[in-house]
Structure formats: C-alpha cells, structure tokens
Copies of this chain bind each other. A is one copy, B any other.
Amino acid sequence: MVRGPYRKGVQRRERIIRTAADVFGELGYLGGSLRAIADRVGASPATLIQYFGSKEGLLTAVLEDWTAQTKRSSMPEDVRGLAYFRQMRGLMEFHVEHRGRLELFITLAAEATNPGHPARDFIQQRYLTGRELWTGKLREAVEDGEIAPLTDAQIDAEIRTLVAVLDGLELQWLLGADIDLPDLVATYLDRAITRWTT
C-alpha cells in the first residue's frame, strides 16, 4: 500500500511540469519565475526545488516532456521521399490543436538566441535533428527519381527555407494573425514540390 503516496508524488510532479510548460510558454523561461509556477500549482518554490533540484532542472523536465509528447504525435518517420513532406499539413493541424506546445517552443527558441540561455543546446539540437531527418527525405526523393537532382548545398538551402516558412508562419499565427496555417504551409510545399519536379 505504499503505491498511493508514490503515485500521488508522480502526479504532482507531472502537474508541476505541465504548469511550468504553460508559464514558460507565456512568460519565457527567464521571465517565468519559480514563484509564478508554484503559485499556479498551489505549492511553494521550495517544493519545486525539492522535486527538480533547481529552475534549470525543471526546464530539463519540461523539455523532456515536450520531446516525448511531440514524438508521439508528429509525422511518421518511415515514410520515404516526397510522401514524407506531403504529410506536413497534418503536422500544422496538430500545432493548431496544441497551441501551448508550439508557443513554448517558439518562445524558448527566440530566448535561446542568447548564447548563454540554458535551453540553447536543446533548441540547436532539435533544429539539427529535424534538419538531418528532412534533408534525408529530400535526398531519398532524388535517389528514387521523384525529383530532379539537387546538390547537397541546394538540399540544405531548401530544408532551411522550409523550416523558416513553418517557424515564421507559426509565429504570425501565434501573434493572432487570421490565417489558415495548414493551408499556407501546404501551398508553399505544393509549389516547392512542383519546382523540384520540373
């Protein structure tokens, strides 16, 4: 019967992580104080330190949770070549339905333009991993003869620009723009695929 209190501790830990994700998304990591998170959870800052060691420890837990949540719900990686990119409308629909998660990422990414930011490694790694995956898919499309040949430099530029379109349109949407985010991204991708094909 030790499970009751243990489970309660796990639930409380999860609740703190989700609340911290909301607060960091709204106020940034640097602007979102332990006090603000503790108040919203109904605990003391000391309790948060007890669970996570430090504010940076809590940030790590938030980023791990974000990664796990996002992995479960993002685009299937086993789809080859152009078919992989054709799923991207679905990714945008997912973002629209999970605004808080998107806001957290964009806010931390912008904060992490400061070289000393504790999330900078995570954000840089996240961009790198995503770029490696996407350039691999575009290379597959070339290998499979779906599109005309591209140099490595061209593939890199294509993927960087695609990522920019997503981030930039997401930012406009988060700022309250009255746009159809999945539709604008799909339009950009359709044109890119047409251009790659011819």
A residues 17-36 in Cβ contact with B at 8 Å? 25-32
Q: Select from chain B the residue with minimum beta-carbon distance to A108.
A: B110
Judge if A167 is at the interface, Cβ distance under 8 Å.
yes
A154 CB to closest chain B CB (Å) equals: 10
Contact of A28 among B111, B157, B175 (CB under 8 A): B111
- Interface class of chain A by DSSP: helix
Which B residues are in CB contact (< 8 Å) with A88?
Answer: none
Judge if A112 is at the interface, Cβ distance under 8 Å.
yes
A residues 34-67 in Cβ contact with B at 8 Å? none
Report yes or no: A188 in contact with B161, Cβ–Cβ below 8 A: yes
Q: Which of A2-10, A133-141, A176-184 contacts B (4 or more CB under 8 A)?
A: A176-184
Say which size band chain A's interface belongs to.
35 or more
A55 CB to closest chain B CB (Å) equals: 12
Q: A30-B31, A107-B113, A161-B188 known; A127 and B167 CB under 8 Å? A: no
Which B residues are in CB contact (< 8 Å) with A106?
Answer: 110, 113
Report yes or no: B187 in contact with A172, Cβ–Cβ below 8 A: no
Which B residues are in CB contact (< 8 Å) with A115?
Answer: 176
Q: How far is the CA of A163 from the CA of B171 in the complex (A)?
A: 10
Which B residues are in CB contact (< 8 Å) with A175?
Answer: 109, 112-113, 120, 123-124, 127
A24 CB to closest chain B CB (Å) equals: 11
A26-B114, A124-B176 given. 12 additional CB < 8 A pairs?
A: A25-B114, A28-B111, A30-B30, A107-B110, A127-B175, A160-B177, A160-B179, A161-B169, A161-B187, A161-B188, A164-B171, A191-B195
